Amino acid sequence: MAPRSFQARLLLLMVGVLVLLQVATLLAVHLAGQRSLRRTLRDELRVGARVFDSTLSARGRQLSDTVRVLAADFAFREAVASGDRPTITSVLNNHGSRIAADAVFLIGLDGSVAADTLADSRFVDRPFPLPALVDRAREKGEAAGVVALDALDHRPYQFVVVPVLAPEPIAWVCIGFTIDERVLDGVRDLTALDVSLVASPPDGRPLLISALPRDKRAELLERLREQSRTAESLQLGGETYETLLEPLETADGSRVQMLLQRSLEQASGPLRQLELRILALSSAALLVAIVAASFFARGVTSPLRRLAEAARRIGRGDYATPVGVTQGDEIGQLAAAFDGMRAGISQREEQIRFQATHDALTGLPNRVLFLDRLAVEIAQARRRGSLVGLAVMDLDRFKEINDTLGHSFGDDLLVEVGRRLGQTIRASDTVARLGGDEFAVMFEVADARGALDVAARVGRALEAPLTLGGVSIDVNASLGIALCPLHADDAGTLMKRADVAMYQAKRQHGAVAVYEPGRDEHSLRRLAILSELRQAVAGDQLELHFQPQVALAGGRVRRAEALVRWRHPRYGLMSPDEFVTLAEQSGNVGLITRWVLQQAVAACDEWQRAGLDLAVAVNLSALDLHDPELPAFVVGLLQQRSLPPARLVLEITESAAMKDPAHAQTTLGELKARGLALAIDDYGTGQSSLAQLKRLRVDELKIDKSFVTHLGGGASEDALIVRSTIELGHNLGLEVVAEGVEDAAAWERLERFGCDLAQGYFVSRPLPEPQFREWLETSSWGQGRGAPSGDQRSAGERASGAGGNA
Ligand code: C2E
Ligand code: CA
Ligand code: CA
């Protein structure tokens, strides 16, 4: 199994390399040792051969000395001279045994054997088989040589030939000594080699004379027969022998070889010991190396392990603890780089956290962080028994400022407001930007009065005009305050309550409002309405009611004003006063206008089909004047139904027309150009000048109901205004409508003043379409029977109108 840890692998590698190195060294030592051993052995064997040679020659000289002494013996010479063969033979025997000779010959001057000591005297009277030896003795005075005579069992002998002098040579005496184990032992003692002699007769078994133990001799002979003559090593008794086989110079030309051998096992004993010692030493070195390597591996891997631990820490999100590896090498550099990375991540995370909890523009805490801190502050204040105040602030007219002076100005303004707020509060308090132009301040106070002090301080901070890029601007803000635990126990609720208070301040056009319990319901409803408007249009929750406008002269119904209602699933039937303003704020009013236009035109079309000569009036919002596609849309609707444009009257409140006269003029001009009738609604409540009205090219004025409702009660001022308005309108060529006609008295006055049309509860309340049609058919107004002149009739009409009102 492969080792898993880096440390183990490193260790294995180092130890492996060491082991390999040592094995290689040992092998090299062994091979070189073996080679040099063999070379040495060969040298030894060659030297041994020379020693053997010189031993034999030395022995030959020694033997010849001995023989010479014998030949000089008087008795011996006398016996030889006597020619008496038995005597000679006995003398030869005696003397031969004295010098331990193995064979003695007496050779006559003619070269034939005169006598010998051999048992069968087989050479007697025959020529001496080694005449060369005798010849050399004749020349040199003596001769010696090795022989292996067939006649002598082919055993190797050393023959010595000397003359028998009297004083001239009278015969030759030749004495032979076998070369036996003792001779070989002598050589072995000198050379430490096993020495043998191999005599190979031309026919017959080779003969071995050897100092080897008996059992090995037979095996050696066997091997010699098997192996080639040049073999340098032999297997003997399971041992390897380095061998040298060299022919010995023989006097008779017979084949005698000397065999020198040395056991390789024995010779390599010291080498093996050396190798063992090297093995022991290298094992010890290996052990030391393993210890050192494991220390080294630990030195390398423990910083790595610490790096890994650091990486795991970073993974867990702990960026604070440094890696803690300080060393100058590459690992140290890695650790330093790693540490740099850790610091970088930590810094970036810090940045991300900051961005997630702070507003990018002002650098103030954002809503998330603010709510967190508020919760903490509330918990602390609870322990201390103090109050936590929360002021939520919304800049007035910020959208306008943004639109007119540009977004970058708006941004600068927000930054400056944030800065000023930051300066007014104590270090322990927090300012945050909640979003858009909404800021919040959180503070600790002892009582409600303290909260108002803070509010005043904040107000003062914004009092001085802000000067940005050369533009000086007054900034007003609406401030809503809520206190914990007076108004809420937790941060979320406290925030909502402060919001409610802030809206209250806005509605009252005051700078500061403190939360009043019971307002939440109202603001929740507002929120619901805002979010559900779109759905209401799409989901058929809107209804259109119609209120008739009647000609004062003759009492005929001329047209009906379409008034929208919202049948809300939870809040029931809601008046347009409640949701149209919200729709305007949320930018959804266009949806409502289009829906109403569609329904109103459709209704008008049906009336026309039913033979009723009625126009329809629809209210436009101030924002509709900014819709460039509205005129085309209206014309399209009329064309679909083939209705003449004059059947549709569009009502625009005076204030809407005056708010943006330029836009109003363009849009109304376009509508007018397409033949639609235009009316100024709620006339008298805005500050319009006659000149402006003229420029708008409207067709009629609708006097606001606030002037009309009490007309019957004898209010002389209202009467004056109504009367002069009617006159004025007529002078400008406009029709005049009075809305809010609630009683016969008002009717009569209007009739007297010459007003053209009347609309109000006196005639009918706004009614859903089916009831409106019913009303048209049943009431005297609907029949065009003219204005009622009696109280009973007006009372009856009132009742019917009231009954139809939803
Ligand atoms: P407005 O255009 O002035 O409409 C007349 C309002 O006076 C209607 O209120 C009507 O019910 C009420 N009224 C009629 N006769 C009398 C009366 O004899 N005495 C009194 N005191 N009031 C009378 P409503 O239907 O609640 O509408 C309120 C306002 O909502 C409308 O005022 C109009 O400005 C706006 N509005 C209604 N429908 C729409 C619409 O479809 N689009 C737009 N943009 N505004 C609408
Ligand atoms: Ca109206
Ligand atoms: Ca009105």
Residues with CB in 5 Å of ion ligand 3: 681-682, 739
**Ligand 1 centroid – CA 616 distance (Å):** 14
Amino acid at 446: A
Give the pLDDT confidence score for residue 262 in this predicted structure: 87
Q: Whose CA is nearest to atom 33 of ligand 1?
A: 619
Give the pLDDT confidence score for residue 765 in this predicted structure: 96
Please tell me the distance from the alpha carbon of residue 127 to that of residue 167, in angstroms, as a whole number: 24
Q: Which of 488, 408, 490 is nearest to 500 (CA)?
A: 488
**Ligand 1 centroid – CA 767 distance (Å):** 12
Give the pLDDT confidence score for residue 799 in this predicted structure: 37
**Ligand 2 centroid – CA 725 distance (Å):** 17
Q: Which residue has the tokens 């500050």?
A: 687
Per-residue pLDDT tens digits for 6-59:
778 888 888 888 889 888 988 998 899 888 888 888 898 999 999 988 888 888
Q: Which ligand is nearest to the CA of 741?
A: 1
Q: What are φ and ψ of residue 232, in 5° steps? A: -100, -10
Q: Which ligand is nearest to the CA of 766?
A: 1
CA atoms within 13 A on the CB side of 440: 29
Please tell me the distance from the alpha carbon of residue 336 to that of residue 494, in angstroms, as a whole number: 49
The CA distances from residue 770 to 545, 655, 773, 779, in Å, are 10, 33, 5, 14
Per-residue pLDDT tens digits for 74-123:
888 888 888 888 888 888 888 888 888 888 999 988 889 988 888 788 88
Please tell me the distance from the alpha carbon of residue 663 to that of residue 275, in angstroms, as a whole number: 114
Say which residues have a Cβ less than 8 Å from residue 195's Cβ, sequence separation at least 6: 48, 52, 184, 187, 188, 210, 211, 258, 259, 260
Q: Which residue has the tokens 């707020």?
A: 421
Give the pLDDT confidence score for residue 519 in this predicted structure: 63
Chain centroid, CA 327 distance in Å:
27
Give the pLDDT confidence score for residue 527 in this predicted structure: 67
Give the pLDDT confidence score for residue 803 in this predicted structure: 35
CB 795 within 8 A of CB 575: no
The CA distances from residue 13 to 9, 22, 297, 305, 382, in Å, are 6, 14, 10, 19, 68
Element (H, E) at 21: helix 6-71
Q: Which residue has the tokens 């006196």?
A: 762
Q: Which of 192, 200, 178, 183 is nearest to 245 (CA)?
A: 200
Pull the structure tokens for residue 456: 């005043």
**261 Cβ inside 6 Å of ligand 1:** no
Amino acid at 171: A
Chain centroid, CA 225 distance in Å:
82
**Ligand 3 centroid – CA 48 distance (Å):** 149
Give the pLDDT confidence score for residue 670 in this predicted structure: 92
CB 271 within 8 A of CB 251: no
* Ligand 1 closest atom vs CA 704: 3
**114 Cβ inside 6 Å of ligand 1:** no
**Ligand 3 centroid – CA 706 distance (Å):** 9
Report CA torsion sign: 767, 773, 776, 779. negative
Q: Which ligand is nearest to the CA of 576?
A: 1
Q: Which residues of the chain have pLDDT under 50?
A: 790-806
**196 Cβ inside 6 Å of ligand 1:** no
**Ligand 2 centroid – CA 681 distance (Å):** 6
Q: Which ligand is nearest to the CA of 702?
A: 3
Please tell me the distance from the alpha carbon of residue 575 to that of residue 565, in angstroms, as a whole number: 6
Please tell me the distance from the alpha carbon of residue 700 to that of residue 617, in angstroms, as a whole number: 12
Long-range contacts of 527-530 (CB under 8 A, 24+ apart): 528/570, 528/571, 529/568, 529/574, 529/578, 529/579, 529/582, 530/582, 530/585, 530/586
